[in-house]
A = this chain, B = another copy of it.
């Protein structure tokens, strides 16, 4: 299949010169193709500038400096002028920025046995065997003392239906408020660990505290996941939890917003096989 390339290239910051690639077949090796190109306005522009532009989408193997030269490229979607500026980066400073942040609802009992929940976004899975999850809390949090005493916690994953309740769990403190009573949600005592979870939330991890790691203002709590419980209503026909039914959401720390999930994009460990030689 001939590869037709038409690339518009600036020869300086203002003028744009078009390079048109003739349908080639000079050389083919794996995904590399050699593209003959010719400057439409050869009085201005040169191949080197073309190179810096097309490398965003085409891997340049070799580039001749002649005005009628050869571009060795990998076949990828057509690159148009403007691609380069898409990747220009700006520093935003040392931020706790990541996409996506989860919204982890950490459940603990206080020393009087009262159930409490808090929302935490600094965390994630940290080990496969033993299955373990990490969540970071500041010492000022009510949950911090609970966790240190009970050495057990749950993580409930809220669905989008409960985004307001989950947000409240991050606003209020268990020192002042019974968050279950305030939201009308139901604490259920885990049968495996001494910690409550939120009955209405579709996914629950029951964790035994393995260790704590002091990092800075946050202490990281690493918990062994003893069991995961999932609402039967969110299981798919294959018996596996279905993300479209769970409807989890993520936290955007830059704009301080919660956002939902969309469609399946690709199969993991499969979609990338096309790049294997």
Contact = CB atoms under 8 A, between A and B. Distances in A.
A95 B171 contact: no
Interface centre among A169, A204, A229, A272 (most CB of B within 10 A): A272
- Copies of this chain, tallied across the complex: 2
Contact of A231 (B88, B98, B164, B186): B88
A121 B182 CA distance: 35
Nearest to A253: B125
Nearest to A158: B99
A14 interface: no
A127 interface: yes
A227 interface: yes
A92 B258 contact: no
Q: Is chain A's binding surface mostly helix, strand, loop or mixed?
A: mixed
A121 B126 contact: no
Interface in A219-275: 220, 222, 224-233, 235-236, 240-243, 246, 248-275
B272 A264 contact: no
B258 A98 contact: no
A217 to B, nearest CB: 5
Interface residues of A, number: 124
Interface of A: 31, 55-59, 74, 76, 85-102, 104, 121-134, 136, 138, 155, 157, 160, 163-172, 177, 179, 181-184, 186, 199-200, 203-205, 210-211, 213, 215-218, 220, 222, 224-233, 235-236, 240-243, 246, 248-277
Which 3 residue pairs of A and B lie closest in terms of their CB atoms, listed nearest first? A168-B272, A124-B124, A167-B272
Given A56-B199, A59-B181, A182-B275, 18 more contacts: A57-B184, A76-B184, A91-B228, A95-B228, A96-B225, A97-B203, A98-B102, A98-B125, A100-B248, A126-B218, A128-B218, A168-B274, A171-B273, A241-B254, A242-B255, A249-B265, A257-B267, A258-B268
